[in-house]
Structure formats: structure tokens, C-alpha cells
Amino acid sequence: MHESTPARAPSVTPSDPSPDDRRIDWLGNIPFLSVHAGCLLVLWTGISPTAAAIGLVTLFTRMFGLTGGYHRYFCHRAFKTSRVFQFVLAWLGAAAAQKGPLWWAGHHRSHHRHSDTEDDVHPPGVYGFFWAHIGWVMCPANLRTKMELMPDFASYAELAWLDRNHHVAPVTLAIGLFGLGAWLESTAPALGVTGLQLLAVAFFLSTTVLYHVTFAVNSIGHTVGKRRFETRDASRNGFLLALVTGGEGWHNNHHRYPASERQGFYWWEIDPTHYVVVLLNTLGIVWDVRGPSAEVLAEGRRPKRAAMTS
């Protein structure tokens, strides 16, 4: 496999509203809020074992699209892959209904440049926990894709298309799940699955859970936990956060060495996303996987008083 070399990225002039404009556009976020409201359907449909199993598949598959794809690949280029699998990662991430890969990665790169300052897109220590967790997503000031921060991926036509049409992936998933449920209802009624039930459980509920575990990295990951490394930001490591986010909870590790694909730096730090990347690397689907430097690993083992300042 070979990486595809894109054409030169088009120049884009930033046109963000004032960073002081942190108003929330409730009407403009009706689709986002409707996904949350859709979870209430489970009170009527119930949750069958089959629906729960399919819901977990949609949850964990799309979680990897975000953690392994949007974050570790598109944001930090922590490994390499083919153009085809690059788009697969982008599609899986987009199916999580968290906008397109260029939008997501551009805002995250901006976060690393300005972490926990007034210029950060979601600093809990500056604008509060609610803003860091969900308010920033609902603010018109953050709607624009920061193309100027994504020159390495902006020229891939398929990624640019997906970024502009990010709704296509989750809508396709929702329709597909409803159709699958209707088919199972007619062909295997003993399973107790209906189209509406699968839509409620495997799309609305799964997507909402995925929203908030992702957002928790920005809010909880900068307010609760331990700091192994004395970085310039407020990032923290959290075992429970790592468990529910596929390894993203080792956030202080990540801010100390963002280039590392592995965020659980030591064997006892559980990092499911890393384990999947190792498997993909073994299969030859990804390669040149980057890990933490020996110096950083040694630094992390020192008593905290002797830790280097990042």
C-alpha cells in the first residue's frame, strides 16, 4: 500500500466570529438536540438483547472512528495508512454525527495550540465546565472548519466532500439500522427486534452516549484526575475516563507527547484504541505507528518533583 499525495491545499481565509461570542444557537442545534430526544423512544420500544448487541457494535465501531481516525490519525498523524482506509476512518468518524474529519481535526489542532487559554475552543478553567463539555459545540462561532490548520488533508477531494456533507454518514447509518430492524422483525420475529427499536437503541442512544464520552475528554480530562507530567495546560489522566473513551482518558500523557499513537504510555494503562491499531498494523492496514519517546517514558517514571516541565 502507498500513501496518496494530495494536490496543494487551497488557501482559505479565516472568518471566525469574535472569540467573545459564546452564545448558544438553540434553534440551529435542533438536529443535535433531537438525537438526545430520540433516546426517549426506548421507553416505548424497550431494549432487546439483539438491539443491545447491535448498539454496542455501532458504539464501539464509531468510537474507533473518532479515537483512532479523527483524533490519532487526522489530528496527529500518529500512523500512516492507505487512501482507501483513510476514507474508511473518516466515514466511521462522520457516522458518529460529530461533523466532518477536517472540522473535528482542525478544532482539535487549535485546542493543542491554545490549550486552557482564552484562545482555546473549550477551556473549562476559563469558560466553565458546561462550555467545555457541550456549549462550544452549539456555538455559531465554532461552526467554521479551520481549513488553514488542515493543509495536509484539505486537498483530498473525498475528505473535503465528506466534511461538507458530514450528515450523509449518520443519516445513512440511521436508515440502514431501521431497515435492518424491519428485516429482522419479518424474518426472525423471535429476536424481538423492530426497525424503530434499532433506530432508538443503535442510533439515537448509541450516538448520544458517544457524544458525551467524547465531550468528557474536553471537560473532565482537563479538570479531574492526576497529572504525571507538568505540561503547560491543565490536562489530566483518568483511569475511568480511559475505560469509557477507548484510551483517550490518558489525557495528560497525550498532551505531553501528542505525536504518540499510544496514549496509555505504560502497560498498566489500558488503551483499547492502541490495541486495535496494533492489530491493524500487524495486518498491514496501517504502518509507521509512532509511540512515546524513550525520554518521555523515562520522565514519566521519575518522582513528580523531578519531572521536566513540558
Q: In whole numbers, what is the pLDDT of the chain averaged over residues? A: 92
Percent of the chain's residues with pLDDT above 90: 89
Structure-derived torsion over alpha carbons of residues 142, 148, 150, 152, reported in degrees to the nearest 10: 170
Taking 50 as the threshold, does the pLDDT of residue 31 lie above it? yes
Q: How confident is the model at residue 29 (pLDDT cuts 50, 70, 90)?
A: very high
Taking 50 as the threshold, does the pLDDT of residue 6 lie above it? no
Instruction: Let me know: does 242 contact 271? Beta carbons within 8 Å.
Output: yes
Taking 60 as the threshold, does the pLDDT of residue 13 lie above it? no
- Where are the extended beta strands (E) located within the chain? 80-81, 286-287
Mean pLDDT of 112-135: 95
Taking 70 as the threshold, does the pLDDT of residue 10 lie above it? no
- Please give the model's pTM, rounded to 2 decimal places: 0.91
Q: How confident is the model at residue 303 (pLDDT cuts 50, 70, 90)?
A: confident
pLDDT score of 18 = 54
Taking 60 as the threshold, does the pLDDT of residue 200 lie above it? yes
Higher-confidence residue of 19 and 231: namely 231
Taking 90 as the threshold, does the pLDDT of residue 124 lie above it? yes
- Distance between the two ends of the chain, CA-based, in angstroms? 36
Tell me the three state secondary structure of residue 284.
coil
Taking 80 as the threshold, does the pLDDT of residue 278 lie above it? yes
Taking 90 as the threshold, does the pLDDT of residue 140 lie above it? yes
Taking 80 as the threshold, does the pLDDT of residue 11 lie above it? no
- What are the residues facing 250 on neighbouring strands? 237
Mean pLDDT of 72-100: 98
Q: How confident is the model at residue 4 (pLDDT cuts 50, 70, 90)?
A: very low
Mean pLDDT of 103-132: 95
pLDDT score of 21 = 77
Percent of the chain's residues with pLDDT above 70: 91
- Roughly what angle, to the nearest 10 degrees, separates helices 49-64 and 168-187? 160
Higher-confidence residue of 21 and 77: namely 77
Using CA atoms, how far apart are residues 267 and 262, in angstroms rounded to an integer?
Answer: 11
* 229-249 confidence digits (pLDDT tens): 999 999 999 999 999 999 999
| Nearest in space to 77 (alpha carbons), one of 162, 151, 160, 158 | 151
pLDDT score of 304 = 66
Taking 80 as the threshold, does the pLDDT of residue 296 lie above it? yes
